[in-house]
């Protein structure tokens, strides 16, 4: 009998597989033939992922059927229901056709790429969130040793913590796995020292509980985030990439969804992500989106109270304390002003659709926060580094090109700034450079500053500013904070202009 049945076993197995459904992920053609996109969401932000997936389904022209997976790790299991990080296989929910899409903002890591195709969406960094009073204690990753962390299991955040422990075996971090909402609550209630979460999520949690949560510093490397689909579905991958490209605009479905979820739009977040590789700008980033002026005032009042208690003991220490308080107050004032300037610039740039309008808005916003008498912005064109004037502020010139031509010795200074990628400062330049002119008269500038705007290591533009007062270090820090936003905006508009159909732009003026 066994001999007779042996030739039938392959047929029986094939029939069983056929009855169980598809053994590979569904292509876009198959999705459209069945008339539904099968979406699987997981994690504490499942509702947010559901909304975004439904936006993609509308883009495809098919309805979405959404399923909530029981756990986060359920996205990565094999046919036996087990997650094997070091093994290469197609995740079972994708392979079976149960799920077509994981819109769950998955951090793209090598082990996950062995289970599915991850289509990049945006870039992020992990950040440490703790109580505000821990800021003076937890200043860098080294200070996390021996502490207690609450973090969602199976995430890239837990992965970073375990990697940290692998290199710090003598003083490891104690890890308590729990859902993100519970992790934040544990930190707020002092049951855990800190948690690790992606930057975009940190905005929401910290802004919703400023009294008990604070964003301290980034950890790990810049990471791409994407949505997961089955391998061997190039048509679906291409459609998803096109959807992401189309959504990177003000007012798109994803842009609005981000604002509702995180308090910042997708476009605003992308401009900020340009500075993720520069640690000192994280302070400015958080000032812009989280720290209210009340927090600064509270810190000042606490410092003053401390000073008052010491006042009766020694007059000399009192004087030192007063000086320290003044410096602290000025620093906090500068940080709040810098954050407001960044926010104002982002709002002003939301609706511009040309380089010229972008340049004009940039100069207007700079004039609101800096003592500018006149200013000019020009992009660098061609390998010979010619300058194309985009916009000018104040002065008597009718056009940006005329303003550039009217500034004596301007071209040479701009060329030096562009070639060295360093700012050029001329204190009290005198009459051989220019005079600040307006309808009320004219005067010599206090200083002339040329600032390079760099993108991906290349100077893409130069801003020239004639100031009516000497520029302070706070002014220079403001310009440094604004540079990545201006550079990203110019790069985006240049790409859009290059990909647009040829047309005649009567407003664009090239010179030099």
Residue-wise pLDDT for 295-305, tens only, equals 444 444 444 44
Distance CA 116, CA 40 (A): 14
Of 395, 321, 366, 396, the closest CA to residue 461 belongs to 366
* pTM for the predicted model, two decimal places: 0.48
Q: What is the pLDDT of residue 510?
A: 40
Contacts 24+ apart (CB under 8 A), 282-287: 282/127, 282/215, 282/217, 282/218, 283/335, 284/335, 284/338, 284/339, 284/342, 284/481, 286/206, 286/215, 287/335, 287/336, 287/338, 287/339
pLDDT for position 338: 66
Please tell me what DSSP assigns to residue 470. P
Distance CA 363, CA 376 (A): 7
Give the pLDDT score at 376: 87
Residue in 124, 98, 108 with CA at minimum distance from that of residue 34: 98
Supply the pLDDT for residue 123: 84
189-229 pLDDT, tens digit each: 999 999 998 887 887 788 778 788 888 888 888 888 999 99
Tell me, what's the pLDDT at 315? Answer: 52
CB atoms within 10 A of CB 435: 16
pLDDT number for residue 218: 85
SS (H, E, C) 281-324: HHHHHHHHHCCCHHHHHHHHHHHHHHHHHHHCCCHHHHHHHHHH
The closest of 207, 405, 372, 350 to 292, measured between CA atoms, is: 207
- Give the residues of the chain that fall short of pLDDT 50: 1-22, 277-308, 310-312, 439-441, 504-512
């Amino acid at each position: 009998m066994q001999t007779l049945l042996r030739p039938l076993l392959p047929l029986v197995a094939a029939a069983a597989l056929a009855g169980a459904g598809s053994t590979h992920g569904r292509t876009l053609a198959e999705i459209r033939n069945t008339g539904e996109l099968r979406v699987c969401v997981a994690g504490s932000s499942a509702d947010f992922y559901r909304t975004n997936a439904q936006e993609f389904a509308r883009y495809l022209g098919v309805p979405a059927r959404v399923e909530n997976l029981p756990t986060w790790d359920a996205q990565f299991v094999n046919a036996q229901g087990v997650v094997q990080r070091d093994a290469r296989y197609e995740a079972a929910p994708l392979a079976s056709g149960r799920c077509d899409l994981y819109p769950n903002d998955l951090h793209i890591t090598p082990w996950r790429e062995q289970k599915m195709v991850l289509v990049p969406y945006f870039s992020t960094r992990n950040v440490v969130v703790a109580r505000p009073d821990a800021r003076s204690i937890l200043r860098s990753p080294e200070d996390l040793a021996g502490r207690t962390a609450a973090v969602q299991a199976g995430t890239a955040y837990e992965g970073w913590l375990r990697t940290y422990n692998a290199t710090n075996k003598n003083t490891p971090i104690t890890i308590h796995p729990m859902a993100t909402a519970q992790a934040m609550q544990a930190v707020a209630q002092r049951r855990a020292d800190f948690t690790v979460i992606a930057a975009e999520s940190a905005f929401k949690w910290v802004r919703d509980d400023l009294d008990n949560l604070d964003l301290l510093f980034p950890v790990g490397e810049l990471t791409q985030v994407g949505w997961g689909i089955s391998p061997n579905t190039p048509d679906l991958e291409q459609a998803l990439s096109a959807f992401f490209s189309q959504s990177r605009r003000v007012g798109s479905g994803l842009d609005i969804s981000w604002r509702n979820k995180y308090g910042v739009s997708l476009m605003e977040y992308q401009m900020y992500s340009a500075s993720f590789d520069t640690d000192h700008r994280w302070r400015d980033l958080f000032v812009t989106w989280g720290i209210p002026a009340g927090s600064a005032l509270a810190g000042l009042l606490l410092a003053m109270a401390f000073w008052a208690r010491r006042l009766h003991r020694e007059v000399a220490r009192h004087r030192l304390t007063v000086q320290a308080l003044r410096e602290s107050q000025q620093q906090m004032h500068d940080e709040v002003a810098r954050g407001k300037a960044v926010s104002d610039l982002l709002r002003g740039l939301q609706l511009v659709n040309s380089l010229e309008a972008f340049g004009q808005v940039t100069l207007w916003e700079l004039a609101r926060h800096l003592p500018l008498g006149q200013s000019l912005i020009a992009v660098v064109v061609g390998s010979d580094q010619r300058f194309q004037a985009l916009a000018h502020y104040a002065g008597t010139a009718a056009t940006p090109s005329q303003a550039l031509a009217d500034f004596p010795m301007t071209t040479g200074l701009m060329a030096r700034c562009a070639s060295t990628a360093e700012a050029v400062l001329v204190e009290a330049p005198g009459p051989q450079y220019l005079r600040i002119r307006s309808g009320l008269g004219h005067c010599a500038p206090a200083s002339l500053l040329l600032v390079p705007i760099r993108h991906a290591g290349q100077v893409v533009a130069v801003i020239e500013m004639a100031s009516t007062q000497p520029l302070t270090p706070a002014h220079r820090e403001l310009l440094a904070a604004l540079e990545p936003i201006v550079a990203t905006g110019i790069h985006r508009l240049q790409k859009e202009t290059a990909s647009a159909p040829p047309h005649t732009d009567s407003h664009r003026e090239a010179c030099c």
